[in-house]
Amino acid sequence: MDELQYQMDLLKAMNQKLSLKDRMYQMIFDATDSAYLYYSFDKKEVTTMGKWKEFFDFDIKEVKEMEQLFEVVEEQYALPLREALFIEKKGEVDSRIECQLKNKKSWFQFCCKVEYQNQQPFEKMITIRNVTKEKFQNEELLYMAYYDNLTGLYNRNNFVKLLGEYVRKAGENNGIVSVLIIDIDDFRKINDGLGIVAGDEVVQQFGGFLKELCNNNIIACHLSSDIFCMAIYEPTGSCSVESVYKSIQKRLREPFFLLDGRAINITVSVGVAEYPEAATTALELINCAEIVMYKGKEKGKNAIQYFDTPILNEFLNSVELENKLKQAVFDNNFILHFQPQFDTDNKRLRGMEALIRWRDDDGHMIRPDVFIPIAEKNGAIIPIGNWVVEQSIKNFVKWRKQYGIPFVMSINISSVQCGRDDFVDFVMDTIRKYNVNPDEIELEITESILIEDFASVIDKLRQLRDFGVRISLDDFGTGFSSLSYLKKLPINTLKIDKSFIDTVLTDSPTRIITESIIDMVSALGFESVAEGVENEQQYNYLNEIGCDVIQGYLLGKPMTAEQIEDMLQNMS
């Protein structure tokens, strides 16, 4: 009896101990985020622990019930999961697999580990982790790596890769790939006028529309802000460039409706380049299409422009020029020539115009009409223009002292220079620095200066005028040439463009206009300068009608500083 009691107490104590261990395990398992399935090959018993009840709405007590696991996962994972969870059949030790559940929401990672004893499987532990969050984070990263967030179209990198595939395929099959760059016209107006959010909505909706045009042979991407790119493999039949462009045009006849109900109409400009005609790599094709698109835009928006070689060459030349130009600013490869101007009635020196010249590395003289517009675009005009101002004033001071002959130094000023806030100060400081009389310096501006911000330009010119600097309106007759705005301008001098002088003797409307300009100029108290006077007849005529100053090949071509010094030497 005692013996039995003892046995029973012992058993009870052991049970308590066991349940304590059980409870301890339970606590540990509860504290983890995983579910566990333990299998003893010996006892043929399955035990589930940890978060099992949270993960699955079934329990597993014996091996055959594990079938339920293969049923909750997506079909494609059922077989691989079965293999992973019965690795002992292949004599392996561990395995790992990630499976999506049929509900599409959750992802589980199954790790299976088998212990062997005497080369026989002894026990197995399957750890199951919910990896949904990581999976979606990864997917998001993956998505971001390949797609554009705003439009859902491919992003640039992925598009370039896929276009590269198209090009490779076309190379092998003598195929064609068309690349279209699509740029929303006046997008800045939408952004500035309606807000960035509205701009984004338009990009998003238009991108969504382009996506609908895609298929096996057409891909599209969002390149940057308002620029899209499409590629068409073998653009024949129904997926030709024309038909894509027509679909776009058709869609754009209808407005896009913003979330707040506003309707927005847009137009686009399209540039097209084709493999292998325009270029042979994905990036070059995109580049070509972009160049063509911008060139097309110059002619007019809302249109399609196809690649042709002269367009590319023109562009490449200007890019080359742009790079050389930047270097030239560093290397100081510019020189000034000077063209004299003479009083018409007595042919006395009135002034000289500083004309910049650029000798490039190859020794070519590059004309300012070629490089000034490029310098204006890339900002190089500022250091170049400042150099011209300082250099011509320096020369003026030197010659004025050396030869004692009075004259005016005329300096051409770009509208970009004049647009700078520090322009007025820079000119005044330079004049003070060289201690010259401001009314011996003349700035030649063109009408284009007035297009941007009339009021602020007028204000700057007025400050300079008040300081004593002369202002001359250059190339008069080539711009919008409204005589009515002339009286609002604080100018001293008006230069009649060479194109008038060229035909003034042969074309009577030109003569009438020229004569009335000169009358008006003298009535307003300005000085008139005729540009490009090449012969005696022109000179006599201009003298007759009262033109004040003559500039042109007849009386003096643009000269180097040394030639000017010779001329001044002969005059004194």
User: In the complex, which residues of this chain contact ligand G (CB under 6 A)?
Assistant: 339, 355-356, 367-369, 372, 385, 388, 412, 414, 474-475, 531-534, 551-553, 558
Q: Pick between residue 74 and residue 502 the one whose CB is nearest to ligand G.
A: 502
Q: Pick between residue 252 and residue 533 the one whose CB is nearest to ligand G.
A: 533
Q: Are 115 and 123 in contact (CB under 8 A)?
A: yes
Beta bridge partners of 120: 117
Q: Pick between residue 178 and residue 414 the one whose CB is nearest to Mn ion.
A: 414
Q: Are 234 and 222 in contact (CB under 8 A)?
A: no
Distance CA 515, CA 152 (A): 65
- Tell me the closest approach of the beta carbon of residue 190 to ligand G, in angstroms: 34
Beta strands per DSSP E along 201-262:
218-224, 227-233, 256-257
- Tell me the closest approach of the beta carbon of residue 569 to ligand G, in angstroms: 22
Give the type of residue at 349.
L
User: If contact means CB under 5 to 8 A according to the sort of partner, which of Mn ion, ligand G, none does residue 272 touch?
Assistant: none
Distance CA 82, CA 90 (A): 12
CA distances from 86 to 79, 102, 121, 127, 380 (A): 11, 21, 11, 14, 73
How far out from the chain centre does Cα 33 lie?
48
Q: Pick between residue 201 and residue 531 the one whose CB is nearest to ligand G.
A: 531
Q: Pick between residue 240 and residue 415 the one whose CB is nearest to ligand G.
A: 415
How far out from the chain centre does Cα 421 lie?
26
Q: 135-146: buried (b, 16+ CB within 10 Å) or exposed (e) per residue?
A: beeeeeeeeeee
User: If contact means CB under 5 to 8 A according to the sort of partner, which of ligand G, Mn ion, none does residue 477 touch?
Assistant: none
Tokens describing residue 453: 């911000």
- Tell me the closest approach of the beta carbon of residue 451 to ligand G, in angstroms: 16
Q: How far apart are the first and last CA of the chain?
A: 148
- Tell me the closest approach of the beta carbon of residue 399 to ligand G, in angstroms: 18
Distance CA 231, CA 181 (A): 9
Give the type of residue at 78.
A
Distance CA 220, CA 154 (A): 6
Q: Please tell me what DSSP assigns to residue 446.
A: -
Q: Pick between residue 433 and residue 557 the one whose CB is nearest to ligand G.
A: 557
With binding defined as CB under 5 A, does residue 226 bind Mn ion? Answer: no
User: If contact means CB under 5 to 8 A according to the sort of partner, which of ligand G, Mn ion, none does residue 367 touch?
Assistant: ligand G
Using left for φ > 0, alpha for ψ between -120 and 50, and beta otherwise, residue 352 falls in beta
User: If contact means CB under 5 to 8 A according to the sort of partner, which of ligand G, Mn ion, none does residue 528 touch?
Assistant: none
108, 35, 37, 114: which is closest to 77 by C-alpha? 108
* String marking each residue 393-422 x if it binds Mn ion according to CB under 5 A: -------------------x----------
Q: Are 258 and 201 in contact (CB under 8 A)?
A: yes
Q: Pick between residue 278 and residue 529 the one whose CB is nearest to Mn ion.
A: 529
* String marking each residue 163-202 x if it binds Mn ion according to CB under 5 A: ----------------------------------------
Q: Pick between residue 34 and residue 414 the one whose CB is nearest to ligand G.
A: 414
- Tell me the closest approach of the beta carbon of residue 547 to Mn ion, in angstroms: 16
- Tell me the closest approach of the beta carbon of residue 454 to ligand G, in angstroms: 20
Stretch of residues binding Mn ion (CB under 5 A), selected from 9-17, 257-265, 301-309, 472-480: 472-480
User: If contact means CB under 5 to 8 A according to the sort of partner, which of Mn ion, ligand G, none does residue 558 touch?
Assistant: ligand G
User: If contact means CB under 5 to 8 A according to the sort of partner, which of ligand G, Mn ion, none does residue 532 touch?
Assistant: ligand G
Name, in order, each residue with C-beta under 8 angstroms of 145's C-beta and a sequence gap of 6 or more.
155, 157, 158
With binding defined as CB under 5 A, does residue 376 bind Mn ion? Answer: no
- Tell me the closest approach of the beta carbon of residue 521 to ligand G, in angstroms: 17
User: If contact means CB under 5 to 8 A according to the sort of partner, which of Mn ion, ligand G, none does residue 351 touch?
Assistant: none
Outline where 32-175 has alpha helix (H): 52-55, 67-72, 75-85, 132-146, 156-173
Among 442, 444, 497, 548, binds Mn ion (CB under 5 A): 444
Tokens describing residue 41: 């090959």
Q: Pick between residue 222 and residue 495 the one whose CB is nearest to ligand G.
A: 495
Instruction: Work out whether the CA dihedral 40, 41, 46, 52 comes out positive or negative.
Output: positive
- Tell me the closest approach of the beta carbon of residue 317 to ligand G, in angstroms: 18
- Tell me the closest approach of the beta carbon of residue 528 to Mn ion, in angstroms: 14
Q: Pick between residue 249 and residue 499 the one whose CB is nearest to ligand G.
A: 499
3-state secondary structure of 78: helix
- Tell me the closest approach of the beta carbon of residue 472 to Mn ion, in angstroms: 8
Q: Pick between residue 475 and residue 548 the one whose CB is nearest to ligand G.
A: 475
Q: Please tell me what DSSP assigns to residue 255.
A: P
With binding defined as CB under 5 A, does residue 474 bind Mn ion? Answer: yes
Name, in order, each residue with C-beta under 8 angstroms of 82's C-beta and a sequence gap of 6 or more.
70
Q: Which parts of this chain interact with Mn ion (CB under 5 A)? A: 412, 444, 474
